[in-house]
Amino acid sequence: MLFATITFACLSISQAKAEDARPNVVLILVDDLGLHDIGIEGSKFHQTPHIDALAKRGMRFTAGYANCRVCSPSRASIQLGQFTARHGITDWIGAKTGMNFNRGDELLPAEYAHEMPAKDVTLPEALRESGYKTFFAGKWHLGGEGSMPTDHGFDINIGGHHRGSPPGGFFAPYKNPVMEDGPDGESLTRRLGKETASFIEEQDDQPYFAMLSFYAVHGPIQTTQELWQKYRESAPTPPADGNRFKIDRTLPVRQIQDNPVYAGMMETLDNAVGDVMAAIEASGKADNTLVIFTGDNGGVSSGDAYSTSNLPHRGGKGRQWEGGLREPYYVSMPAIVPENSTSDVPVIGSDLYPTILDVCNLPLRPQQHVDGRSLETVLTSGIDESLEQRSLIWHYPHYGNQGGEPSSVIRTGDYKLIHYHLDSHDELYHLPTDIGEQNDLASEQPERVAAMRKELLAYLKSVDAKFPEPDPRFDPEKAKQRWARTHGPNKERLEKREAAMLAPNWKPNGDWWGSTVD
C-alpha cells in the first residue's frame, strides 16, 4: 500500500455538507516553484514557515506533478481537467514553432493552441453555474482578448492577462493593464496576496472560488536589499571547486541552493501565503474551506535565471525529468482531511477539477475533465487503489529554453518512460529506487518499455497530438560550436555571475529594481 498510516476520524464529505454550507475553495498556484524550494520538502536555505504550516494542515502528496514542464499547458490542464496533448496547449503561449523557430536544433517544434477553447467548460465556469462567486488574481497566460479570466468563468480578475511575466517587474509601478498600481516600491507578490485576502474577508454566505496565481517565483528574480542581505549572510558554503553548475546533456544545471535574491523572493511568497491563510482563519469558515497549494512546473535550475536546485530530482523547468515536473501538492480542509497526513499516490494538476467538484458535492463532468481523477477518496479515507496504477501522460514536442528536449512521458505505477522524438529512443526509470533518474533500465526491461511506449503513443494518437518535424536548416558543425560555447565561456560567465551575488558589495542597480523608494 502506498499510503502512509494515519487515523481518519472525520466526517464524510456528504455528512459535512449536510451540516455545513457548501465549502469555499482557495487554489494557490505558484509559478516556477521547485518542490525542494519549500522547507518541509527539504530546503535548508529558503524560509517558508507559512507554506510549511499549510502543508501540515491537511494532506501532503509526496508524488505531486504539474501537467507540463512549462507554465501555460499546466495552467490550462488545471482549468480543463485534461492532459496537455488533449487540449492542445503544449508550450508556453508565445513560444515560436515551425520555421519561425531557428535556434539551430535538429527539430522544428510542433504547432500548439494559443488560447483555451471557448467550447470547454472550465473549472470556474462549472462552479459559477452552481452558485459560486469566482475570483482570480495574478498570472493568467492562457490567451489575450477573448480568452481572459473573465471569458472563462471568473467574475473578478486582478492582474491576469496575456503575458507570463510581470511587465513592470515585482515592485510597483507594475505596468499591468488589468491591475491598478500601488505606491511605488510595493511588492507585487504581497499585493496579490492581500487582494485575495480582501476578497475572502468581503464574502458572506455565498460560496466562493478564489484562485491566487502568483507571478512569483518566475523571473525576473528580484528582491529587496534587506532580504538579499539576510540570505547572503545565511547562504551555505559554496562548493569547494567553485562549480555551482554541471552540464547535463544540453545546458548547465544548478546544484546548490544559495541564490540570495531568489531566497528573498521565496520569503515574500511565503508571507503572501500567510496573508491569505490568516484571512481564511479570520473568516470563521476555515474548517469548511478547501485550500489547495501547488505549482505549474519545476524550479528554474537551468536557462532563464538559473535560480534554484531541484536535487535530488534531476533537471528543472523545461526538462523532461522529475525536477521539471514534480511539485508541492497540498490539500487541506479540516472538516474532512486529517492534518499531518501524507499520500504517495501519484497525482497531477488535472485532478484538481474533479476533486474540487467532488468535495463541493457538485456533479462531476467526466466528458470535460476526462483525464483528471477525483482525489476525494484518498483525502477522506487515505486509499484509492485505482489511482495507484493509473498512467499519467505528458507531451512536450518542443525545445525548452532551459535545455529540455522534445519528448513525451508516461508514468505507470513506479515506472517512468521518456520517449524522445528526435530518434524515438526510450529511457526507463524506477522512481522509488532511482529518484535522480541516473539508471536507465530500458535495455534491461524491453517488454515493459514496449508496453509503456505502446500505451503512450496510442493515447497521443487518440487525441490527435502534434509532433515535431526535422529542420532542414540544421547544421551539425554550428551545433558543435554552440556546444563548445556552452561548456566553456558561457558556463564560466554563469559561475562568476552567481558567485558575485554573494559578494558584500554586490548591487543589481540603483534602486534594487524599484523596491528602494526615497
Task: Extract the C-alpha cell encoding 460.
Answer: 497521443
Cα separations (Å) of 392 from 29, 91, 288, 429? 20, 18, 30, 14
Tell me how far apart the alpha carbons of residues 99 and 498 are, in angstroms, rounded to a whole number: 34
**Cβ-based neighbours of 18, under 8 Å, separated by 6 or more:** none
For residue 227, what are the contacts with CB-CB under 8 A and spacing of at least 6? 260, 263, 264, 267, 268
Supply the pLDDT for residue 517.
83
The reported pLDDT for the residue numbered 19 is 41
Peptide bond into 178 cis (omega under 30): no
Q: Measuring CA to CA, how many Å separate 277 from each of 55, 155, 194, 284?
A: 12, 22, 11, 12
Q: Map grid coordinates 488589468 to a residue.
A: 178
> Under 8 Å CB-to-CB from 142, ≥6 apart: which residues?
72, 75, 76, 79, 89, 93, 115, 116, 152
**How far from chain centre, in Å, is Cα 227?**
24
Lookup result for grid cell 544545471: 253
Taking CB atoms within 8 Å and a gap of at least 24, the contacts of 386-392 are 387/345, 387/346, 387/347, 388/2, 388/345, 388/346, 388/413, 389/413, 390/346, 391/455, 391/456, 391/459, 392/65, 392/83, 392/346, 392/348
Please give the helix or strand (H or E) that residue 237 lies within, else none. Answer: none
Looking at this protein, which amino acid is placed at residue 516? T
Specify the pLDDT at position 224. Answer: 98
Tell me, rounded to whole angstroms, the distance of Cα 386 from its chain centroid.
Answer: 25
**What are the residues facing 101 on neighbouring strands?**
none
H runs (alpha helix) in 30-113: 49-57, 71-80, 84-87
Q: What are phi and psi of 359, to 5 degrees?
A: -65, -35
Q: Does domain 24-388+469-502 have CATH number 3.40.50.720?
A: no
* Alpha carbon distance 486, 258 (integer Å): 22
Q: What is the pTM of this model?
A: 0.95
Cell numbers representing residue 413 in the block: 505505477
CA distances from 377 to 261, 300, 339 (A): 41, 33, 16
Mean pLDDT by 10 residues, the chain (518 residues): 40 46 96 98 98 98 98 98 98 97 96 96 98 98 97 98 96 96 97 98 96 98 98 95 93 97 98 98 97 98 95 97 98 96 96 98 97 96 85 97 97 97 98 98 98 98 98 95 91 95 95 91
Whether the Cβ atoms of residue 428 and residue 442 lie closer than 8 Å to each other: yes
**336 within 8 A of 379, measured Cβ to Cβ:** yes
**Torsions phi, psi of 508, nearest 5?**
-70, -40
Distance CA 116, CA 101 (A): 23
Residue ranges per structural domain of the chain: 24-388+469-502
pLDDT given for residue 305 in this prediction: 92
Q: What's the rounded Cα separation, in Å, for the pair 237 and 248?
A: 23
C-alpha span between 457 and 399 (Å, rounded): 19
**Closest among 175, 182, 163 to 71, alpha carbons compared:** 163
Cell 525545445: give the residue. Answer: 399
Per-residue model confidence (pLDDT) at position 20: 52
| Backbone torsions φ then ψ of 358, nearest 5 degrees | -60, -50
